[in-house]
Amino acid sequence: MTVAWKTFTSRLTLLGSLCTILWTLGTLFAPSARAAERLILEIGPLQQTITIEDLEKFAHTAEVPPKLKPYSFLLTPELKEMLVRRLHVDPLLAEQFLDQLFHSSDGEKLLEQIQSAIPETTLAQIQQSLQEATKQPDDLNILSFLRVYPSDTVKIDLKASATIAAQLAAANLQSKILSPILASELAVKTDTKLPLSFNPTNPGPETVYKETFIFRDKARKRTIPADVYYSFNTQGPLVVMSHGFAADRRFLKYLAYHLASYGLTVVSVEHPGSNIHSLVQFPEGMKLNQILPASEFIERPKDISFVLDELEKINQENSYFHDKFNTKQVSLIGHSFGGYTVLALAGAKLDPKQLRSFCQSLTPLGRSPADWLQCSGAELPYSQVSFFDPRVAQVIAFNPIAGHLFGESLSEVKVPTLILASSEDGITPNLAHQLEPFKQLQGEKYLMVAVGATHMSVTDISYITSTMGQSTLVREIMDESANPVREAAKGVSLAFIKQLTDQRSEYKSFLTPVYLQSLSSDLISLRLTTQLPTSLNLTLDVLSLSNQKLTVDDESEFNLDPFGKIRVCLANLGSLFSPPQYQTGQLEQIFDGLLKTYDRHSGKLS
C-alpha cells in the first residue's frame, strides 16, 4: 500500500472517529466561562481541525459549510440527528451514581479510558466535569457541551476513541450484521397450505376469571403476589409466568387471558425483590450496584417453587379451586430476567464462578445493560447452584438474560424449550443471550426470531405508557407495530403448551416455520427453527470471537474499508441516543426516569 493511500485513509480515520468524540464529549464537559471553538483530532503525527461553529451550522440547517464540503460524504443524516438529540439525566440519581462510580474499580477503569481519549484532560477534571454536567436544569446535547468546554480547543486521541467506539457499538453492530442473515437463512417457502379449521391467535371458547393471591414465605420473609387466570373447564398443564427486572405480574396479561380462554390455568407471579416497586422504593444511600441484589438470582427460582408448593395445597384443600392447578405438569413462561428464572428451574445451573471471570475481564464500556444486570450475581459465593424443579415440563423464555449466568450447563436442560430472540434487542443482545444459549440446548428446542422487534415488543401493549416502557436505554417498539410479536406469542405459545396434551397433533401445525412466518408484517419478520443452519452457526462463531477483542490495535484495520467503517460508526453510535419520543440514559442510569415520575406520596407511577 502506498504512503499516499495510507495518509488518505488515516485522515478518513480521523474524521470517521468524530462520532465517537462527539458522543464522549457530550457526556463529559460542563459549563464554564470559556467555550470550545475547535476540535483537534489526532492520530500519531496526523491532525485534523474542525470548528464547532461549522458543526452547529450543519446540525441546525443540514447545509454543509464550505470548510466541511470536502467531507460531505461523512455528514450523514445519522450524524446530524446525533448532534441535536438531547440526553435526559435525572440529577438526583446521577449525582449518587457518579459519587459511587468514582469510588469503584469500574469507575477507575472508565475514567482512565476517557482520559486516554482526551489525553490533555486530568482525571480530576473529568470527574469534576461529569459531576457538574449532571446538575444542569435542561436536557443535554452534544453541541451544548462542546460550546461550554473549559478551553477553546479540545484535542482528541482518535486511536483511543476508536477503542471506545468499538466497545460501545459492538453489540449493536453484531445485531445489524445478524438481522438480514437471520431473516434470509431462516426463511421458508410459503406455498405450504396452513390449516384453516381455527386460528390459535383468536380467543378460546372459555370465559376467563381472574383472582389475586398473596403468598407469604415466612422462612425467606418474602410476600409474593400472584394473579390467577382460570376458567371452569380446566385442562392441560399449569402455566406459571415470571416477569423481568423492574416489571410486574401484569407484563404479559394479554397472553395470560389468551391461554386461560383455552382452559389453561395461568399464574403470573410477582417477585418482590426485583419488581417495579423494589426499584422506586430504592432507599437513599444504597449503592447502585445493589439495585438488583445478587440474592435475587437465588430467590426468584425459589419464589416459583414455593408458589407451586402453595398451589398444590390449594388444589387439594380448596373446594372452589379443586383441580385448577396441575402442579405435576408445569409450563413456565419468563421474560428477560424471568427468562433466567425459568431456565434455572428447568435444569440450567447458575454458575457464579464463570460469571465472575467474565465480569472481571469486561471493561465497563463493553457491557450491555444485560451484562450490568447479570454481573450483579457475580458476588454470590458459590461455584454452581441448582434450582431444578422436577414439576417443570417445558419452558418458554422470551428475550432471556442468559449470557454467562449458566456456564455450559444449559446442555443439562432436558425439557422442551422455546426461546424468543429479537434482532433489535438493545437490552439483552441476541447473540450472547439467546442465540448462543440456544446452541447449547440439547433436548427438544425451538427458536423464535422476531427480526425488527425489540426487547419489550412481546410485552402487553399497555406497557407503552408505563414508566418502564418510557425509560429504557434504547428505542423500544411497543405500539401496534409490535402486534405481530404478540400474535406470535399467543399462537406459538398455545401450540407449544398443547404439546403436553392429547390435542398435540391438532396444534402441531402451528408450531412450524411456515405458520410463524405467515404472521410477519412489513416491519417485523418472524422466523422459527429447531436447529440453526451450518452457515448461520459459522456466522455466530465468528461474531462470538469478535467479543473477545474490543480494542483497535492497528489502524490498518480501518484501512480495509475506511468509508464503511466511518458510516458504521455514525450509524451505531447515533443509536445510543433514542428518538425524541423516548427517554434515554446510560448503562446504569437506565431507570432514572422511574424515580422522576414516581409520586412518593401516592405510591403510584405517573
CA distances from 474 to 365, 534, 572 (A): 16, 31, 12
Q: Which pTM does this prediction carry?
A: 0.77
Calpha distance 334→572 (Å, rounded): 29
Nearest to 244 by CA among 44, 18, 74, 455: 455
Please provide the average confidence, as pLDDT, over all residues in the chain. Answer: 79
Top-confidence residue, 26 or 324: 324
pLDDT digits (tens, 9 = 90+) for 183-192: 999 999 877 6
Could you write out the three-class secondary structure of 475-516?
CCCCCHHHHHHHHHHHHHHHHHHHHHCCCHHHHHHHCCHHHH
Q: pLDDT band at 397, cuts 50/70/90?
A: very high
Q: Is the pLDDT of residue 47 over 60?
A: yes
- Average pLDDT rounded to a whole number, residues 203-229: 98
What per-residue confidence (pLDDT) applies to 307? 98
Top-confidence residue, 79 or 438: 438
Cell of 65: 459549510
Q: Is the pLDDT of residue 336 over 90?
A: yes
Percent of the chain at pLDDT > 90 equals 48
Q: Is the pLDDT of residue 10 over 90?
A: no
Q: Is the pLDDT of residue 428 over 60?
A: yes
Domain 204-532 has CATH 3.40.50.1820: yes
Calpha distance 297→309 (Å, rounded): 20
Burial category of 430 from C-beta neighbours within 10 Å (exposed 0-12, middle 13-18, buried 19 and up): buried
What per-residue confidence (pLDDT) applies to 19? 42
CA distances from 109 to 99, 120, 123, 492, 512 (A): 15, 17, 11, 45, 48
Contacts 24+ apart (CB under 8 A), 188-195: 188/513, 188/514, 188/517, 189/514, 190/514, 190/517, 190/518, 192/514, 194/509, 194/514, 194/515, 194/518, 195/509, 195/510
Percent of the chain at pLDDT > 70 equals 69
Q: 180: Cβ–Cβ under 8 A, 6 or more apart, which residues? A: none
- Average pLDDT rounded to a whole number, residues 132-136: 62
What per-residue confidence (pLDDT) applies to 214? 98
Q: pLDDT band at 33, cuts 50/70/90?
A: very low
Nearest to 270 by CA among 215, 218, 327, 345: 215
Q: Is the dihedral of CA 339, 342, 348, 350 positive or negative?
A: positive
Local structure of residue 216 (DSSP, 8 states)? E
Nearest to 423 by CA among 222, 252, 182, 228: 182
Q: Is the pLDDT of residue 292 over 70?
A: yes
What per-residue confidence (pLDDT) applies to 563? 42
What per-residue confidence (pLDDT) applies to 374? 94
Instruction: Report helix, strand or coil for 266.
Output: strand
**Residue that is written with C-alpha cell 426461546 in the block:** 419
What per-residue confidence (pLDDT) applies to 596? 40
CB atoms under 10 Å from CB of 236, counted, come to 20
Cα atoms in the 13 Å half-sphere on the side-chain side of 129: 25
Calpha distance 247→276 (Å, rounded): 5
Domain boundaries, the chain: 3-174+551-575, 204-532
What per-residue confidence (pLDDT) applies to 570? 44
* Structural contact between residues 145 and 26, judged by C-beta atoms closer than 8 angstroms: yes
The helix (run of H) or strand (run of E) holding residue 428 is: none
Instruction: Report helix, strand or coil for 576.
Output: coil
Cell of 175: 445485531
* Structural contact between residues 32 and 147, judged by C-beta atoms closer than 8 angstroms: no
What per-residue confidence (pLDDT) applies to 210? 98
Calpha distance 93→163 (Å, rounded): 28
Provide the residue type at 349 as one letter. Answer: K
- Average pLDDT rounded to a whole number, residues 162-171: 68
Local structure of residue 124 (DSSP, 8 states)? H
Calpha distance 377→365 (Å, rounded): 19
Number of H helices, E strands in the chain: 25, 14
Cell of 534: 451450518
pLDDT digits (tens, 9 = 90+) for 362-394: 777 778 889 989 999 998 998 899 999 999 999
* Structural contact between residues 238 and 330, judged by C-beta atoms closer than 8 angstroms: yes
- Average pLDDT rounded to a whole number, residues 459-477: 72
- Average pLDDT rounded to a whole number, residues 280-301: 75
Lowest-pLDDT range, 109-113, 206-210, 543-547, 565-569?
A: 565-569
* Structural contact between residues 398 and 313, judged by C-beta atoms closer than 8 angstroms: no
Q: Is the pLDDT of residue 60 over 90?
A: no
Q: 9: Cβ–Cβ under 8 A, 6 or more apart, which residues? A: 558, 559, 562
Instruction: Report helix, strand or coil for 16.
Output: helix
